């Protein structure tokens, strides 16, 4: 394994920590809890209570869960226990029955706030569940709370005027990422078995990486976004719903519940039956293309060491590891920088509403006045939101709305080129961000570093974030595993091998519950 003095694999941390024989309920994976519930070794009531207690313990420091459903969750757990204890054939039960989870506040939950973190929508309460929430409920999952978001979602600091700012569970002086930063923080802190976020440029993967969880952005068009706010860009699959969870093996059961058209989202076309089986991925047939430092982004040495360590581990397990300077890969990734620009331009030119219209319920933001009000502590917006609006307007003025069919045709050609390079069995091992979780406000200085994740939204490729270890500063490190569209099983199969090698998610030691159940 290639080593770096500032890189510590989770496998080493697992072996050095003193752990009891059975971890707490707030540390066990979804698939383990599923099995225990069905064998009547565990009650849904106890499982839900354990996670409510964990949320109550950690949330004052993290501010991750901003709307709780504790009373309703307890009632739903009671009903789940009655069903679990009365059934004769456990195989007939809904797949997620009794499992507590959280949901990003962007998804409509009937009767609950759906503000998008924006003052203009503070009174918004949808009367109908989003498709994602409806499917979770039908599968028996118990939503214990809704999690924090940035204003309108177009920023990687989870912070807004309504709910305040979310902190990283490994170090509260650092960001949890965004826009699913509330999910990253509470799942990372053991407060939910899994959470559902959404990702238009890294909004599932960056929080997963910063908070040390598994995160998966599925292939574009796999999960319907009906009832998500803000809306997707029509005719694109840039925006995706995806899970954050404790273990790689937890992802596919969630995807199978959420996937497939709902008849209302016209851009959701993939069926659940299109999902393959990660357990059938043969590493001996996998080609690994490591990318320690994408062009145009300065990646910290500790992150590069993680990419190299992951590739070396896969090589030891039989995969074919190709050289990082492979000429065809370098040329394709050079083109991918263009893909990132196309993604950025589509957000400014093709979206139904501009970012400032979204923030202001269609009225538009008087930018100069709001900067002045911000200086006086009177603005309804935070500073990063105003800076994003400013960048949006500059982009529109100088790029002149040159997207549309011409840009989409170029993106299609780039897509075909990388498809040919990856084939049916190739994966990229790619940094999720340029560095571990930065301190609050620091991402303002390097907004283009989101290119590490955003360009794969433009291509519609699936990507799995898997934890590898900690930096010398005690912050999580991870990599993205990326494959062609429709090959979610491949990214998950490779990510599973990395989890087996490095040990996977750990509850931050300062948050670990003293009581083991």
Q: Which pLDDT does position 393 carry in this prediction?
A: 76
Inform me whether the pLDDT recorded for 46 exceeds 60: yes
pLDDT band at 342 (very low <50, low <70, confident <90, very high): low
Q: Which of 130, 179, 380, 478 is catalytic?
A: 179
The percent of residues above 70 in pLDDT, for the chain, comes to 87
Q: Which residues contact 214 (CB under 8 A, 6 or more apart)?
A: 208, 244, 245, 246, 247, 248, 250, 251, 464, 465, 466, 467, 495, 499, 504, 505
User: What average pLDDT is seen over the chain?
Assistant: 89
Q: Give the model's pLDDT for residue 390.
A: 84
CA distance 181 to 197: 9
Distance from C-alpha of 204 to C-alpha of 184, rounded to nearest angstrom: 8
Query: Is the pLDDT reported for residue 352 higher than 70?
Result: no
- Tally of CB atoms within 10 A around 307: 24
User: Given a cut of 70, is residue 401 above it in pLDDT?
Assistant: no
Three-state helix/strand/coil letters over 309-348: HHHHHHHHCCCEECCCCCHHHHHHHHHHHHHHHHHHHHHH
Q: What percent of the chain lies above the pLDDT cut of 90?
A: 68
Strands 142-147 and 100-104, how do they pair? parallel
In whole angstroms, what is the distance from residue 396 CA to residue 398 CA? 6
Active site residue 285: no
**Is 39 a residue whose pLDDT tops 60?**
yes
pLDDT of residue 231: 85
> Is 360 known to be catalytic?
no
pLDDT tens digits, one per residue of 481-492: 999 999 999 999
> pLDDT: is 409 or 53 the higher one?
53
Structure-token match 């929430």, residue found: 133
pLDDT given for residue 328 in this prediction = 65
> Which pLDDT belongs to residue 336?
60
> Which of 97-101, 336-340, 398-402 shows the highest mean pLDDT?
97-101
Question: What is the per-residue burial (b if ≥16 Cβ within 10 Å, else e) of 462-492?
Answer: bbbbbbbbbbeeebbbbbbbbbbbbbbbbbb
C-alpha torsion 326→331→334→338, nearest 10: -140
How many C-beta atoms surround the C-beta of residue 364 within 10 A? 13
pLDDT confidence of residue 377? 87
For residue 346, the model assigns a pLDDT of: 61
**pLDDT recorded at residue 490:** 98
**Among the ranges given (302-306, 333-337, 441-445), the one the predictor scored with the smallest mean pLDDT:** 333-337
DSSP class of 231: P
Does position 379 have pLDDT exceeding 50, yes or no? yes
pLDDT in tens, 408-444: 677 777 888 899 999 999 999 999 999 999 999 998 8
- pLDDT at residue 404, as a whole number: 46
- Greater confidence (443 vs 339) lies with 443
Q: Are strands 142-147 and 65-68 parallel, antiparallel or unpaired?
A: antiparallel
Q: What is the largest CA-CA distance in the chain?
A: 66
pLDDT reading at 385 higher than 80: yes
Per the model's pLDDT, the better-predicted residue between 392 and 210 turns out to be: 210
Calculate mean pLDDT across residues 174-197. 98
Query: How large is the average pLDDT for residues 273-298?
Result: 94
Q: What's residue 513's pLDDT?
A: 44
Q: pLDDT for 57-76, tens place per residue?
A: 999 999 999 999 999 999 99
**pTM for the whole structure:** 0.93
Say if residue 436 is exposed, middle or buried (CB neighbours under 10 Å; 0-12, 13-18, 19+): buried
- Answer yes or no: is pLDDT of 15 > 70: no
Q: What is the pLDDT of residue 225?
A: 97
Regarding predicted confidence, which is higher, 8 or 473? 473
Query: What's the confidence (pLDDT) of residue 338?
Result: 61
Supply the pLDDT for residue 382: 85
Once rounded to an integer, what is the mean pLDDT over residues 179-201? Answer: 97
Among residues 130, 176, 180, 203, the one annotated as catalytic is 203
Mean pLDDT of 261-267: 96
User: Domain 30-350+403-502: which topology?
Assistant: Amidase signature (AS) enzymes (3.90.1300)
280 assigned to active site:
no
Domain boundaries, the chain: 30-350+403-502
What is the pLDDT confidence band of residue 517, given thresholds at 50, 70 and 90?
very low
Q: What is the pLDDT of residues 200-253, one digit of tens each?
A: 999 999 999 999 999 999 999 999 999 999 888 888 888 999 999 999 999 999
């Amino acid at each position: 394994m290639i080593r770096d003095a500032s890189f510590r694999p989770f496998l080493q941390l697992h072996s050095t920590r003193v752990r009891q024989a059975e971890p707490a309920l707030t540390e066990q994976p979804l698939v383990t809890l599923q099995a225990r519930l069905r064998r009547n070794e565990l009650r849904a009531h106890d499982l839900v209570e354990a996670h409510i207690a964990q949320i109550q313990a950690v949330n004052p420091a993290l501010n991750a869960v901003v709307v709780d459903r504790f009373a309703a969750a307890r009632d739903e757990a009671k009903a789940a226990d009655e069903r679990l204890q009365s059934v004769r054939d456990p195989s007939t039960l809904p797949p997620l029955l009794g499992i507590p989870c959280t949901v990003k506040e962007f998804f409509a939950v009937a009767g609950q706030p759906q503000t998008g973190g924006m003052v203009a929508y503070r009174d918004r309460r949808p009367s109908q569940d989003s498709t994602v929430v409806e499917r979770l409920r039908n599968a028996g999952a118990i939503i214990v709370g809704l999690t924090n978001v940035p204003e309108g979602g177009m920023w990687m600091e989870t912070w807004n005027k309504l709910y305040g700012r979310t902190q990283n569970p490994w170090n509260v002086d650092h960001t949890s990422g965004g826009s699913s930063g509330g999910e990253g923080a509470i799942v990372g802190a053991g407060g939910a078995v899994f959470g559902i976020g959404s990702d238009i440029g890294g909004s599932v993967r960056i929080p997963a990486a910063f908070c040390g969880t598994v995160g998966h952005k599925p292939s574009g068009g796999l999960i319907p976004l009906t009832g998500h706010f803000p809306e997707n860009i029509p005719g694109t699959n840039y925006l995706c719903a995806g899970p954050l969870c404790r273990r790689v093996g937890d992802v596919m059961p969630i995807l199978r519940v959420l996937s497939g058209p709902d008849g209302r989202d016209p851009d959701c076309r993939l069926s659940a039956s299109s999902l393959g089986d990660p357990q059938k991925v043969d590493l001996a047939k996998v080609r690994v293309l490591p990318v320690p430092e994408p062009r145009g982004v300065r990646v910290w040495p500790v992150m590069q060491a993680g990419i190299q360590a992951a590739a070396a581990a896969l090589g030891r397990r039989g995969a074919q590891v190709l050289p990082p300077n492979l000429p065809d890969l370098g040329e394709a990734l050079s083109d991918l920088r263009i893909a990132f620009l196309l993604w950025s331009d589509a957000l400014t030119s093709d979206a139904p509403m501009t970012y400032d219209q979204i923030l202001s319920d269609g009225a538009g933001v008087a930018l100069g006045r709001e900067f002045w009000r911000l200086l006086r502590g009177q603005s309804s917006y935070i500073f990063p939101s105003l800076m994003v609006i400013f960048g949006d307007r500059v982009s529109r003025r100088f790029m002149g709305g040159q997207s549309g069919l011409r840009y989409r045709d170029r993106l299609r050609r780039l897509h075909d080129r990388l498809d040919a390079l990856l084939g049916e069995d190739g994966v990229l091992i790619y940094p999720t961000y340029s560095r571990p979780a930065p301190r609050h406000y620091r991402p303002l200085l390097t907004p283009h570093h989101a290119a590490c994740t955003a360009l794969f939204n433009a291509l519609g490729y699936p990507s799995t974030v898997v934890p590898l270890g900690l930096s010398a500063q005690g912050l999580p490190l991870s990599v993205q595993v990326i494959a062609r569209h429709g090959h979610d099983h491949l990214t998950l199969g490779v990510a599973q091998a990395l989890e087996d090698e490095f040990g996977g998610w750990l509850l931050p030691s300062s948050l670990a519950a003293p009581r083991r159940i």
